[in-house]
Amino acid sequence: MPATFAEKLLASAADLPAASAGEVVDAYPGLIMSHAASWRCIRTLERLGTDRLFDPDRIAMVMDHNSPAYTAKTAGDQKLCREFAASHGIAKFYDVDAGIAHVVLMEDGHVRPGMLLIGTDSHSTIYGALGAAGTGVGFSEVAATWVTGYLWMRVPESIKVTIDGPLGPGVFAKDVMLRLIGDLTADGATYCSVEFGGSFAQGLSVSERMTLCNLAMELGAKFAYVPPDDVTRAYLRERGVPGDAYTELFPDPDATYRQEVRIDGPSLSPQISCPHTVDNVKPVEAVAGTRVDQVFIGSCANAKYEDLAQAASILRGRHIAPGVRLIVTPASKKVVQRALDDGILSVLLESGALVTNPGCGACAGDGGVMADGEVTLSTANRNFRGRMGSYQAEIYLGSPAVAAATAVRGAIADPREFTPATEPAVAR
Amino acid sequence: MTGGRCVKFGDSVNTDLIMPGRYLVSIDPAELAAHVFEPLGPEVQERVRSSHVIVAGRNFGCGSAREQAASGLVGAGITAVIAESFARVFFRNAINTGLLAIAQPEAAAAAEDGAEVQVDLAASKVTTDGRSFPFPPYPASLVRILEAGGLIPYVAQQLAADGAR
């Protein structure tokens, strides 16, 4: 019977000849990720009365939220994780210097095509960027899976999203996803696996694929997936993962989809998600001029190297508006290193940005939160009330290019008005 | 059979509203209960704490995978959530923390704010205002987790049984 990616993947993870949408299987993840929630998993494990782990090599811990610690409680939680990892032989332990779990694990070659991953983070759908299937679970479920090695999973139905390219200048994967979320709404893909295809997805950078798959969570998706291709293989090869270390999975051409959606890339303009839900999406033209107090370039959605470069291409030779705070929180230490090496960090700093340590930062309400009545334009993936400080503050979401343009104007702006080649630099 | 007075919400209640990220430093349901629905103000919080059932619209529990959204509700005395639909991570977290999560759109629409709502898991029906609404029975594996009081007590029982064998 023809099968979708999700059906093939869960059959493989459950060691079954086949699995169909709707079936419940016991699936064995190839990698179990826990981030700042790791200490909660460890405390929960204590309640299980055992600490015999199914396979320490399938466990990854990354200290990304609330890092470095800003309270003694958090410092203690992180110490617990550090000691647990050392005493239990968890080699994939990443401390507070590493960055956001999702990006770190992909950068380090731990995520491979055909793999099932679970994580204590809803945006675990991001792993689909490398042809894997990732999904978020709670900390109890991670603790239980550490011991048993498996968890129940319902095989999801699938939605096929075809994105026709190319996108116009100043328009990116973020805009595609915000439009899709606006059209399908925040529960448009609940419990479904979202398979991306079309001329835009083919040959797309892994960074932009991460943005596609990350934001699929905001449709309620269980998995997201971009078919592996030469771009995937090259990304993995550069990270020391040879082609024979994984098995690529592809949907059958005649597989059954619950829904098929098509997005016309060339006609798309930059999109903005307005307070206080991600599916409250408008084209930038509709909200341009909205005053902001802060711009945040960060999160697992859009703080990768390519995202910083996208922002820098607008900020180069320009300065942010007086009174506006531009906070840049790179996704990982490796992103910082690369942006340092090629001058991107200097461009950001010279434009007036504050560049913080890598990690989740303000997206998780860490550093860079807002006072009552303030407004932030953020490159993150959520704009829920109170997520960045005051319950009486507002968050708008957009691409790194929108963020850079907005920082320069001090109000939500269309990055297409800042094409580096056509507009002279603004004097400082 | 479980239930009691309900408090009713609309669509897309996200987990940042149910349990703001700043309180995830705790995993104690009693401590968490003090902050449930804090962004919506003390009046809503008091109503939640004096209720046993939450009734809601579409996509209840969307957003972050934080398990404390479910365990905080348990700490606040909520035993069941009846919604038109659930976000998938919240649904899992609810089962895993022993909180009944039932997608029954008609019951969610019929239940009046403040009304008595009863859930009979064995008979797979929700009752409110003298009307009963059946729902598809939970898979047996999920019933076992719920009956044990959540995933961790369930797995602990299994491990103990395996050890005794």
Domains and CATH numbers, chain B: 2-164 (3.20.19.10)
Range A192-220 burial, b when 16+ CB lie within 10 A, else e = bbbbbbbebbeebebbbbbbbbbbbbbbb
CB contact under 8 A, B58 and A364: no
Closest Cα partner for A58 from A147, A138, A154? A147
Beta bridge partners of A377: A295, A396
Q: Residue A425: is its pLDDT beyond 50?
A: no
Q: How many CB atoms lie within 10 A of CB B110?
A: 17
At A423 the pLDDT is 45
Å from A65 to nearest chain B CA?
10
Q: Which two tokens stand for residue B86?
A: 């659930």
At A345 the pLDDT is 98
Contacts of A38 in chain B (CB under 8 A): none
Closest Cα partner for A329 from A319, A339, A314, A315? A339
Same CATH topology for A5-16+24-243+253-263 and A272-418: the answer is: yes
At B118 the pLDDT is 98
Q: Which pLDDT band holds residue A365 (cuts at 50, 70, 90)? A: confident
Distance from C-alpha of A112 to C-alpha of A121, rounded to nearest angstrom: 18
Which one is predicted more confidently, A51 or A76? A76
Q: Are B7 and B115 in contact (CB under 8 A)?
A: no
Sequence-ordered list of residues with C-beta below 8 angstroms from that of A216, at least 6 positions apart, any chain: A125, A128, A177, A189, A194, A224
Interchain CB contacts (distance < 8 Å): A and B: 117
Closest Cα partner for B151 from B112, B113, B86, B97? B97
Contacts of A148 in chain B (CB under 8 A): 155
Tell whether B109 is within 8 A of chain A (Cβ).
no
Å from A425 to nearest chain B CA?
40
At B163 the pLDDT is 80
Q: Residue A178: is its pLDDT beyond 80?
A: yes
pLDDT per position as a tens digit, A382-393: 999 999 999 999
CB contact under 8 A, B155 and A144: yes
pLDDT per position as a tens digit, B51-67: 999 999 999 999 999 99
pLDDT per position as a tens digit, A241-255: 999 999 999 999 999
Q: Residue A59: is its pLDDT beyond 80?
A: yes
Which residue does chain A place closest to B94, by CA atoms? A138
Partner residue opposite B87 with nearest CB, options A73, A220, A277: A220
At A420 the pLDDT is 58
Tell whether A74 is within 8 A of chain B (Cβ).
yes
Closest Cα partner for A366 from A278, A276, A274, A296? A296
Q: Which pLDDT band holds residue A427 (cuts at 50, 70, 90)? A: very low
What is chain B's mean pLDDT, rounded? 96
Task: Establish whether the linkage from the previous residue to A166 is cis, with ω within 30° of 0.
Answer: yes
CATH 3.30.565.10 for domain A272-418, yes or no, is no
At B149 the pLDDT is 94
Distance from C-alpha of A374 to C-alpha of A366, rounded to nearest angstrom: 16
Could you tell me where the DSSP H helices lie in B34-139? 42-49, 68-75, 88-96, 105-110
Residue with tokens 């003390």, as numbered in its chain? B42
CB contact under 8 A, B152 and A364: no
Q: Residue A97: is its pLDDT beyond 80?
A: yes
Task: Establish whether the linkage from the previous residue to A68 is cis, with ω within 30° of 0.
Answer: yes
Task: Establish whether the linkage from the previous residue to A276 is cis, with ω within 30° of 0.
Answer: yes
At A421 the pLDDT is 43
> DSSP for A192-215?
PEEEEESTTTTT--HHHHHHHHHH
Contacts of A138 in chain B (CB under 8 A): 65-67, 70, 89, 92-93, 96-97
Residue with tokens 């509203």, as numbered in its chain? B17
CB contact under 8 A, B63 and A49: no
Å from B59 to nearest chain A CA?
6
Contacts of B103 in chain A (CB under 8 A): none
Å from B75 to nearest chain A CA?
16
- Can you tell me the mean pLDDT for A176-200? 97
- What does the domain layout of chain A look like in residue ranges? 5-16+24-243+253-263, 272-418
Q: Which CATH number fits domain A5-16+24-243+253-263: 1.10.645.10, 3.40.50.12780, 2.60.120.10, 3.30.499.10?
A: 3.30.499.10
Which residue does chain A place closest to B69, by CA atoms? A138
CB contact under 8 A, A141 and B24: no
Q: Residue B34: is its pLDDT beyond 50?
A: yes
CB contact under 8 A, B16 and A382: yes
Instruction: State the pTM of this model.
Output: 0.96
pLDDT per position as a tens digit, A280-294: 999 999 999 999 999
Å from B126 to nearest chain A CA?
23
Determine which helix (DSSP H) or strand (DSSP E) holds A161, and give its type and residue range. Answer: strand A158-164
In chain B, pLDDT over 90 holds for what percent of residues?
Answer: 95
CB contact under 8 A, A140 and B25: no
